[in-house]
Amino acid sequence: MKINFCAATTTRLMGVVGVYLNYDIEEINYAEVFVMDYDMGEVTKHDILKSPGYDRIKALLEESFGGLGGELIQLNFYLEFLKIFYAEYRRTGSPTYKDVKKKSPLLKLVDGRKGRGKPALSLLFPSHELSAYEVIHYFMMRLFADDEVASLLAIDDYPPFLMDFTVIKNTLTKRFRNDGSDVYDFSCLVFGDSYFLLGGKIELKDNLVDTFNLDEITPLTPLQVAQTLRQKEIISVYTIENPTFEEAFTFENRRLAPHLYENGRLYISYRYDNNHVDSDVFTLSDDIEASLFITDGRQVILSTRTEENSLYWNEKLVNRYGDSLLRIGEWIFDEEVLLDFINTGLLNFLEWMD
């Protein structure tokens, strides 16, 4: 067995990681990808190509990792991957890991004991030195998800949190102190069985979490959450002139998996990086660059939150699919409306606005 290449996405701190391996067994070349979701505790994607060419590998990586964000970071040796895989295999006992272990030509050959040992800091796969904002946001995301990686961002180990939460929005305010210490107040909107607002204090030392104090937990109603998360949404609407548009669009954008609704299909494009985490305010929805809803009424509805992303995606649609689409117009809303339209079951966005 010869390992030619092993790399991982930089998304481990977001709760998911994709790993790509290229190796030879008995003079046969294999390309293998794994996508592991740490919150679900499952391998959500696993593909193997036997004797693939460059184009097939490129398409596989785009389809598998294109929606994860971040660049691929080369691992020093494939044992790092084994640590990742077997740590989750032992932690979750998920049938998806057992199934992958049976199918993978590589895992059939290697000894699972090589994947033992305490997970190294390299499991974080950072592509740069983390800022204070990133350390805190990532720490809280992984702590509330009951993920061992939280302790790698802290000076001391942290026990599992009492409740399993997803961080929806986290706002940090730095305290100004004479001793120069890095102390931040946080106001964190989370979702578990329902919504809560968490408040407290967090202190860093040498860019690691030194103290974490949760002072208050306040339940929130859906209306309060909607007001807290209210964001501008830019909507562009197109009419489909060529019935082959969606087939061409989905083939060329295989990384955009469809979400099926009774009145159409929603395609979500995620950011190629996680730079939005490096801010005093982290919002989970900022992971999304653009959403495209293709209705059964032959409309394309493009949704973005920034003028920059709106310009990029409108130019992409016009330049690449201009012969198939007719642009009707653009509207700016003070709050997000696309999902409201989708949930009505209607086919025409203009009629819905009327």
Shared domain for 210 and 246, answered yes or no, is: no
Q: What's phi and psi for 245, nearest 5 deg?
A: -55, -50
Please, what is the angle between helix 79-92 and helix 95-103, to 10°?
A: 140
Among the listed residues 56, 8, 7, the one whose alpha carbon sits nearest the alpha carbon of residue 29 = 56
Shared domain for 9 and 101, answered yes or no, is yes
Inter-residue contact 202 to 214 (CB < 8 Å): no
Domain boundary among 64, 98, 124: 124
Residues 263 and 331 occupy one common structural domain: yes
Report the percentage of the chain scoring pLDDT > 70: 94
The pLDDT assigned to 51 comes to 93
Is pLDDT above 80 for 160? no
Domain count, the chain: 3
* Residue that wins the pLDDT comparison between 29 and 118: 29
Residues forming beta bridges with residue 17, ordered by sequence position: 36
Q: Which two tokens stand for residue 4?
A: 């030619």
The predicted pLDDT at position 111 comes to 66
CA-based nearest residue to 82, from 113, 33, 115: 115
Residues 6 and 96 in one domain: yes
pLDDT tens digits along 294-330: 999 999 999 999 999 999 999 999 999 989 999 999 9
Same domain, 312 and 257: yes
Decide if pLDDT at 69 tops 70. Answer: no
Q: What is the pLDDT of residues 221-280, one digit of tens each?
A: 988 888 888 889 999 999 999 999 999 999 888 778 789 999 999 999 888 778 889 999
Residues 29-35 have a mean pLDDT of 94
Token pair recorded at residue 140: 């809280």
**Averaged pLDDT, 5-29:** 91
> In terms of domains, do 42 and 141 share one?
no
Tell me the residue range of the domain where 194 lies. Answer: 132-226
**Average pLDDT of the chain to the nearest whole number:** 88
Q: Which of 174, 203, 226 is the last residue of a domain?
A: 226
Task: Let me know whether 118 and 19 are in one domain.
Answer: yes
- Domain check: are 32 and 118 in the same one? yes
Q: What is the pLDDT of residue 114?
A: 60
The Cα–Cα gap between 279 and 208 comes to: 17
Say which CATH number the domain at 164 has: 3.10.450
Q: Is the pLDDT of residue 197 over 80?
A: yes
- The rounded distance, in Å, linking the Cα atoms of 12 and 121 is 11
Model pTM greater than 0.85? no
**pLDDT number for residue 265:** 96
Residues 235 and 349 in one domain: yes
Q: Judge if 85 and 28 occupy the same domain.
A: yes
pLDDT for the residue numbered 118: 55
> Pick from 104, 124, 144: which residue ends a domain?
124
Q: How far apart are CA 175 and CA 10, in angstroms?
A: 30
- Based on the fold, state whether residues 310 and 337 are members of the same structural domain: yes
Which is nearest to 275 in space by CA: 306, 231, 250? Answer: 306
- For the stretch 161-171, pLDDT in tens is 777 899 999 99
Q: What is the pLDDT of residue 120?
A: 53
- The token pair at 211 is 């103290």
Dihedral sign of CA atoms 11, 91, 284, 264 in order: positive
One-character DSSP codes across 45-63 = EEEEEES--HHHHHHHHHH
Both 106 and 214 in a single domain?
Answer: no
Q: Please measure the distance between the N-terminal and C-terminal CA atoms of the chain and give it in whole angstroms.
A: 64
